[in-house]
Structure 1
Amino acid sequence: MRHLFFCIGFLTCFALSSYAQFNTRGISGGGGGGGMRRDTTSHQHDPDTLTLRYKYLGEPTDFKLDSSINDFQKKFLGIPANYYTLGNLGNAAKNILFTPRMTGGFDAGFHAYDVYSHDHSDAKFFNTNRPYSELTYLIGSKQEQVIGLSHTQNRTEKFNFYFDYQKVNAPGYYRNQNTNHDTYTFTARYNTPNKRYNANLSYYLNKINGGENGGIVSTSYLSDPDYKQTRTIPTNLGGANIQSSSFFNSTIPTKSQYQEASILYQHSYDWGKGDTIHINDTTDYWRYQPRFRIQHTFSYTQNTYGFQDASPDTTFYINHYGFKPSTAAGDTLRTKQTWKIMSNDVSLISFPQLGNLGHFLKVGATIDNIDGKMTDAIAQFYNFRLHGEYRNKTRNQKWDLQAMGEFYLLGANRGDYNVSGRLSRYLNERLGNISIMAKNVNQTPSYVYQFFSVNQAYWLNSSLNKENITQLQFAASNAKLRYSLYVNYFIYNNFTYFRDYQHSAQVNGIFNVLQVYVNKHFKVKSFNWMAEVAFQQIHGSSPVQLPTIWTRHRVGYDGTLYKNLNLFTGLEIKYNTAYYADDYSPLFGQFIYQDTLKISNKPDVAAFVNFRVKSFTAFVRGENLNALIWNPNMNGPLYPGNKFQFRLGIRWWFVN
C-alpha cells in the first residue's frame, strides 16, 4: 500500500505541476449509455489540444475516452447495469441477460468474478500528443471504497506506455461478505523510425479476494426488529463473529481467492510502401503503408483459483457437499488450482488495398502448452489450432465485413472450433447503421465441470460431451434518433451446468433462447429519458432460468449551467420480472440451477446528481430507496441486496 500511495502522490504532483488549460475536443462527451466512442476527429496539431486515441489488439478502429456523466455504474463500479452481485460490490456477479461462453479450447471455468478483472482482450494501446493522467475515488456507506489511477504518455513518436490500477474494498452490509480486489494493467507499444517493425506489450494482474458467506440463514431475519443492523444476521459460512475491516487491512476468513496474471508480447515486420508527408515548413511525417506482414505473438498466463474456510460449518458442508470437514484447530478447508498456459502464434497478414489497414486477410497457427496443479492432482496437455480472418472495412466507413474461423486440430480439445461472420452497413444519418452476425461454436465444457477437489474430497464427471452453440444476431443503431437494437437467437446443444452445489450435469438435447434488447434516449429540451428494455424467452426444456423482462430507466434534467457546469440529475430505476434466480456454490465458485424459490422484487430506485466542471466530475447517489419502505430486494436465494446506500464518486483528469 505504501507503494500505491507513493505512486498516487507522485503522479498527482507531476500532473498539477504541469497542468495547462484543458480543451475537451480530444475527449468525447455525448449522450447515450456512456462507454467507448468511435474516434472520428481528424489529427490535431494545436499544442493546446489533447489528441488521445487507443486501439485494441487486432482491431483497426480507433477509439477515444468518454467524458459523459450519465452512467455511474459502468465508470466507477466497472459492472454493467444488467449484472447483479451476491449483495456487495466485489462479490460474485452474474449477467441477468443470457450470455453463454462461446470460445473453443481450454477453460478452467471460474468466471464468477470476471466482471472485476482484466485480460488482453480489453488492453488499450494509446497514442497521445500530451501526457494524460486520471484519478478516481469512490466512497460509500459501510466503509465502501474504490480507488483508481491511470496514466499514459508518448515518450517519443515511436513509444507509448499506459498504466492502470484499481482497488475495490467493501466490507458490505451483511456478515462475512468482505471484498478486497486489486487489479493492475500495463501496456506499451513501439515502432521503429521507418515503421516497418511494430511491437505491443500487454500485462495484467488480477488479485481477487471475495468473501463467501453462503447466504443468510433465513430471510425472516430481514423483518425482525432485533436485526435492524444487518451485520448481526447469522450467515451460513464465516463463523459467528462480526469481522472488522479497513482499507489497509482486510481479514476474510472464508473467501474465494483468485490471482490471474499474464504477459503478452506481439511483434510484427511489414513489407510495403513508405513516403514522406510534408506538413509545414519545419515538419515532415513519415508514413508507411504495409502490403504484407509477418506477426508473432507470445503469451504466458498463470491463474490460481482457490477457496478457504478457516472455521467450516459442518452442517452446511454435509447438507450441500456430502462430506464433513475437519474442525480441528488450525485445520482449514481449502482448495486450490493453478493453471499455467504458454502460447505461441505465428500469423501471416496480407493487405490487398494499400493504405487501408481495415482490409486484410490473416492466417496463422497457435500451439498452447497447459499445465495444471490441483489440490491432489496434476494435468498436462497441449492444443494445436489453426485460425484465419478476413476483414474489409471500407475507407468510406460504410461497409464492414468480417469472417473468422478457428479449428483445434490436435491436442486435448481436438475438434473444438468457432466460426463467425458479420456484415454491417452504414446507410445514412437518418437510417443509421445495421448489421447481421452468425456464430457457431463447438467447445469442450469447462474443466471445473469435469473435475474438482478439496483437501478432504473430490468430484469427477467424465461423461460430458462437447457443447455446440449457434448465435444469430441482428443489430441496428442510430446516433441521430438515439437508439440501439439487438436481436439475438441462440441454439444450444448439450448445455452443461451444475444441478446442485456439487454435481455437474448436461442436457443432451437442444433448446433455444430469443433475446431482444432496446436502448432509446428521449430528449425534450433539457429533459432526458434513457430507457433500456430486454426481453428473453426460452423455447424447449432447459435448466436455464431467465427473467422475461429486464429494464433500466434514467430520467432527469441534463444541461449546461453557468457555461462550464454540465449537470445530470434525476432518478434511476431498475426492474426485472419474477424468476428462479440462480443459487451459488461457494466452494466451487459457480452459479447453480434451482427451481424451488422464485425471486420477486420491487423496483430498485436511486436518486443521483452528476456534474462535470472542465476536468472534474462528481457523482452523488442515494441508492436502494425502495429499501426505505420494503425489505431489501433479493439477488438470489438467501442473498439479499443492500439497504439504503449513499455513494460519492469523483473523477479528475490532468493533461500536461
Structure 2
Amino acid sequence: MRSFILICCLLVTAQCVKAQFQRFGNMGGGGGGAAQRDTGSHTHEPDTITITYRLLGEPTDYKLDSSIADFSSSYMHVPASYVMMGNSGAPARNLLFTPFMKAGFDPGFHTFDVYGFNHQNARIYNTTKPYSELLYLVGSQQEQNIGVLHTQNRTDRFNFGFEYNKKYAPGYFRSQATNHDIYRLTARFNSKNKRYNAYLSYFYNKINNGENGGIRVADSVLDNPRYSQRKTIDVNLGNYASTTSGLFNTTLPVKTTNKQSGFMFVQQYDWGKGDTVHVNDTTDYYKFDPFFRVQYTFRVDNNSLAYLDGQPDTSFYTRKYGWAFNGDTVRALHEWRTISNDVSLIQFPIRGNQGHFISAGARYENIRGTFLDANISFNNMVVHGEYRNKTRNQKWDLSAKGEFYLAGRNSGDYNISGMLSRYLNETLGNVHLLFSNTNREASYIYKYFSSTYDSWYNNGLGKENITLLQFAADNKKLKYNLAVNYYLMENYTYFENYYTSAQAPVLFNLLQVILSKHFRYKHYNWYAEFAFQQVHGDGRIQVPSIWTRHRLAYENKLFNNLNLMTGIEARYNTSYYADDYSPVIGQFVYQTTQRVKYYAPDLAAFVHFRIKSLSAFIRGENINTFFARNNFAGPAYPYNNFTFRLGLRWWFIN
C-alpha cells in the first residue's frame, strides 16, 4: 500500500511538471482560478475546464471550492468549531453541540468522524477534462499531510474519481501521535439511451490515534521553564514506553484504531421520453427526461474500534476504571458489519425537473457484531418515503421525508423531517425552515462494551427522542448567515464515567443561535462568527455559552494573478465543564468537577495566497502560548505549543 501511494504521488508530480511547462503560463488567475471556471457552453478553451459534482441523492450541482479564506474548512476539512483532544487528528467534537439524529442501528464510534469519508459526502463528478489536485502540508514536530485527488470522464457516460488523504501529527506531548490513511473511490455510468444509471461509492478510513490519557501533573507545570520541552511532562498512558514515529511507520505504545469502510452500489432504470436536440449543423445530442424510476441500492458497511495497551499503567486504570488491575495487557475490540438491500420507486411529476419527485421504498438490513467474548446477529426491516420539490427557477425547495423501522432489533425507530426553503430576492436572500424528529435506540456502545478486564451491559436504556426546529437565513448581498436551532431531547444517552452509560433523567432543551458576518472596507476584511448556546433542564450535556472566531485580513489582487490574504485569526469560548475522554472505549465523558477555561484566545497569524493554479497557506498558530498558559481541550488535555504550518495546494488540467 505504501509503495502504491508513493507511486501515485510520483505520477501526479510528474504530471505537475509537465502541466506547468505546457499550461501554467497561459492559465487565467482571477476569481476561482482556471480550474474552476465555467464557460457555460459546450466549447472550451484548451486550458479551461468545467467541473461539477453532486452528492448522492441530491439534485443540485456544486462547484469545487478554491477559496483561500478559511484554512480550517477548505484546506484541513475540519470546521473551526471543532475541538481536538490536544493534537491534530485526535478525537474531536463540535463545540456547537449537534446530537446524533439517525434512526436505526449505530455502533457509536463517532469521535473521528470529522476526518473520514462516508457515503453522505461522496462526490460524483462530471468534468470536461481530467482534473487532479495535490495537497501537501508540513508543520512543527514533523507534522505532514498529503492529499491526492483525480477525476476524469472516460466518455460522456462514465466518470470515476479517486481521493487519498494522509494525516500524520506526532504532537508535542508523549504518546499522542496520530497517523490516518483515508481513501475514496467514486464512479458513475449511464447507458447510451440514458435509461440506465449506476453510481458507486467506496471509502476506507484507517484511524490510528496514540492515547496518553492526558498529562499526569497539575496544569501549573506548563508555566515551568523546566518543562518547555513538553515531552518531558509525565502522561497517564505510555509514559515510559518507546515510540517510533514516522510518516509511514509509527509505533504507538497505547493506541486506538478505528477502521471504517463502506461500499454502495446504486442502480436506476428509468421510463420516460427522449428527444434528439439539434445544436448546429454538425452537433446533435440525445436528451432523456424520466417520469418513473426503479432504484436498487446495495450497501456493505464495516466499522471497528480496537484499543491496545501492552504496558499498562496500573494506577490510571485503577483510578479511572475501578479495575482490580494486575498489569496485564489491556485490549478491547468491537467489530460490526451491516449489509442492506433497498428498493425504491420514484416518480417525477414534471418533465425535465429531477428535483421534483415522489419516492417510496423498503430496506432490509442484516447486522453482525464481533467482540472479544461473543458474537451477535440481528435484522431490521425499514420502509421510507420522500417528497421533494426543488423548482427549476431555484426559488423554492420543499422536502418531506421519513423512515420507519417496522420489524427487527430497532423496531419502533423512526425519523421524520420537513424542510421549506425560499429565495426571496437579492436583498433579503434565502430563508430556510426545518423540522425533524428522531426516535431511536441508543447507539450500541452505550448498551454493551467488552475488554480483557471487564464487560458491562446496560439493558435499561429507553429510546432517545430528539426534535429539532430550525430557522436559517443566507444573504449573499449583506454577507451573513444566521441559524437558530432549538433542540428538545428526551432520554439523552451519555457516559457518566470512564466505562458506563446512563440517560438524562428529564426532558430538556437546548437553544443555539449561530451568526457569521463578513464586513469589508476597501481591502480590509473582518470575518466574524458568533454562537450562543443555553441548556434548559438537567440535560447532562456541557457546552460553552459563547463561542466566537474572528479573522481580520487584508485582501488584494496584485500583479494580475496574485490573490493575497494576510492577517490574524482568533478563537475563543467561555469557560465550561468540558467533556473528559475515556481512551479504552474511545468516548467523551460527561463531568462536572473541572472547569476548562481559555487563558487567552487561540491566536494565529497567516499569509494565504493563490497564484494561478497554486495556493499556499503559511500560518503561525497557538501564538498565545508565548504569553499565556496553553489552553485546554478537556481536563488534562492541553493544546500544542506554537506551531508553524505551510500548506500547498496545486490543481492541474491533465
Range into which the TM-score falls when normalised by the shorter chain = over 0.9
Q: Which residue of 2 aligns with 1:348?
A: 345
CA spacing shift, 1:188–1:25, aligned 2, 3 Å: farther
Match of 1:174 in 2: 173
Alignment-mate amino acid for residue 393 of structure 1: K
Match for residue 122 of structure 1? 121
Aligned equivalent of 1:465 = 462
Matched with 1:86 is 85
SS in 1 for 2:23: coil
TM-score by length of 1: 0.96
- The one-letter amino acid paired with 1:568 is M
Partner secondary structure for residue 204 of structure 1: strand
Aligned length: 646
Kindly provide the amino acid, as one letter, of the partner of residue 92 in structure 1: P
2-structure distance, mates of 1:259, 1:351? 39
1:579 corresponds to which residue? 576
In the alignment, the residues of structure 2 paired with residue 641 and residue 443 of structure 1 have an alpha-carbon distance, to the nearest angstrom, of 35
Q: Which residue of 1 aligns with 2:141?
A: 142
1:383 maps to 2:383:
no
Q: Any conservation in 1 of the 2:82–2:92 contact (CA below 8 Å)?
A: yes
Pairs within 5 Å for 1:253-652? 253-327=253-327, 331-601=328-598, 602-652=600-650
Counterpart in 2 of 1:236?
236
Do the aligned residues in 2 keep the contact of 1:90 with 1:210 (CA within 8 Å)? Answer: yes
Would you say the 8 A contact 1:15–1:655 is kept in 2? no
One-letter code aligned to 1:6: I
Deviation at 1:195, TM superposition (A): 0.6
Give the deviation of 1:332 after TM superposition: 2.5
Cα distance change, pair 217–593 in 1 and its aligned pair in 2 (3 A): same
Cα displacement (A) at 1:25: 9.4
CA contact (8 A) 2:190 2:198 kept: yes
2:50 corresponds to which residue?
51
Deviation of the 1:244 alpha carbon: 3.5
Deviation at 1:635, TM superposition (A): 0.8
| DSSP 3-state at the match of 2:360 | strand
Deviations 1:370-399 (A, max 9, x none): 000011111100111000010001111100
Alignment check: 8 A CA contact 2:312 2:330 kept: yes
- Check 1:611–1:26 CA distance in 2 against 1; reply closer, same or farther (3 A cut): closer
Q: Deviations over 1:546-575 (max 9, x none)?
A: 111000001010110111000000000000
Letter in 1 for 2:195: R
**Closer, same or farther in 2 for the Cα pair 1:121/1:27, shift >3 Å?**
farther
2:38 and 2:134 map into 1 onto residues whose CA distance is: 26
Distance 2:87 2:505 in 1: 36
One-letter identity of the residue aligned with 2:642: F
Whole-angstrom CA distance in 2 between matches of 1:600 and 1:470:
30
What is the rounded CA distance, in whole Å, between the counterparts of 1:293 and 1:374 in structure 2? 41
The alpha-carbon distance between structure 1 residues 569 and 25, as it changes in their structure 2 partners (threshold 3 A), is closer
- The residue identity in structure 2 corresponding to 1:548 is S
**CA deviation after TM superposition for structure 1 residue 277, in Å:** 1.4
Q: What secondary structure sits across from 1:437 in the alignment?
A: strand
1:119, 1:83 → 2: CA distance? 18
Conserved in 1, the CA contact under 8 Å of 2:86 and 2:633?
yes
Q: Measure, in 2, the Cα distance between the counterparts of 1:40 and 1:466.
A: 49
Gaps of 5+ in 1: 31-36
Deviations 1:20-54 (A, max 9, x none): 35656998479xxxxxx9x9974442243210000
Amino acid at match of 1:566: N
Superposed CA offset, 1:457-500 (max 9, x none): 11111100000000000000111111110000000001110011
2:99 — aligned with what?
Answer: 100
Give, in whole Å, the separation in 2 of the partners of 1:130 and 1:594.
53
| Correspondence for 1:133 | 132
| Counterpart code for 2:43 | H
Q: Tell me, in whole angstroms, the C-alpha distance in 2 between the residues paired with 1:204 and 1:325.
A: 39
| Consecutive unaligned residues in structure 2, runs of 5 or more | none
1:164-186 deviation line (CA, Å, top 9, x unaligned): 00001110010100100000000
Determine the structure 1 residue equivalent to 2:215.
Answer: 216
Counterpart code for 2:4: H
Q: What is the alpha-carbon root mean square deviation over aligned residues? A: 1.6
2:4 paired residue number:
3
Counterpart code for 2:376: A
SS in 2 for 1:166: strand
Aligned-pair CA distance for 1:239: 2.8
Q: In the aligned structure 2, how far is the partner of 1:545 from the partner of 1:40? A: 46
Mark the CA change 1:384 to 1:360 in structure 2 (over 3 Å): closer, same or farther. Answer: same
Q: CA deviation digits over 1:80-101, x for unaligned, max 9? A: 1000101101110010011000
Instruction: Compute the displacement of 1:15 (Å).
Output: 4.8
Cα 1:353–1:106 shift into 2, 3 Å: same
Amino acid at match of 2:314: T
Q: Which amino acid in 1 is paired with 2:173?
A: Y
Q: For the residues of structure 2 that align with 1:203 and 1:27, how far apart are their CA atoms? A: 33
For residues 270 and 98 of structure 1, what CA distance do their matches in structure 2 show? 41
The amino acid of 1:654's aligned partner reads F
Counterpart code for 1:209 = N
The letter for the 2-side match of 1:5 is: L
Does residue 113 in structure 1 map to residue 112 in structure 2? Answer: yes
**Aligned-pair CA distance for 1:240:** 1.8
Structure 2 vs 1, CA of residues 372 and 24 (structure 1 numbering), >3 Å: closer, same or farther? Answer: farther
Structure 1 residues 293-316: Cα deviation after superposition (integer angstroms, max 9, x where no partner):
000000111222111111111111
In structure 2, the residue corresponding to 1:485 is in which secondary structure? Answer: strand
Tell me which residue corresponds to 1:34. none
SS in structure 2 at match of 1:64: coil
> Deviation of residue 285 (structure 1)?
1.3
Q: In 2, are the aligned partners of 1:326 and 1:333 still within 8 Å (CA)?
A: no
Matched residues in 1 for 2:432 and 2:65: separation? 24
Aligned-partner Cα distance in 1 for 2:39–2:242: 54
In the TM superposition, what is the alpha-carbon distance from 1:280 to its structure 2 partner?
A: 2.4
1:5 to partner: Cα distance: 1.0
Q: Structure 1 residue 242: deviation in Å?
A: 5.6
Deviates more, 1:313-322 or 1:291-300: 313-322
Q: Secondary structure at the match of 1:455?
A: coil
Distance in 2 separating the partners of 1:175 and 1:534:
34
Task: Supply the AA of the counterpart residue of 2:136.
Answer: Y
- Distance in structure 2 (CA, Å) of the matches to 1:475 and 1:412: 36
Conserved 8 A contact 1:209-1:257: yes
CA distance in 1, matches of 2:510, 2:133: 41
Distance in 2, Cα, partners of 1:298 & 1:256: 30
Distance 1:180 1:215 in 2: 18
- Tell whether the 8 Å contact from 1:312 to 1:325 is kept in structure 2 after alignment: no
Cα distance, 1:283–1:146 mapped onto 2, change above 3 Å: same
In the TM superposition, residue 322 of structure 1 has moved relative to its aligned partner by: 1.7
Letter in 2 for 1:259: K
Q: Which residue of 2 aligns with 1:33?
A: none
Q: Percent identity?
A: 53
Deviations 1:398-439 (A, max 9, x none): 000001100000000000000000000000111100010000
Question: Residue 151 of structure 1 aligns to a residue in which SS?
Answer: strand
Cα offset, 1:114, TM superposition = 0.7
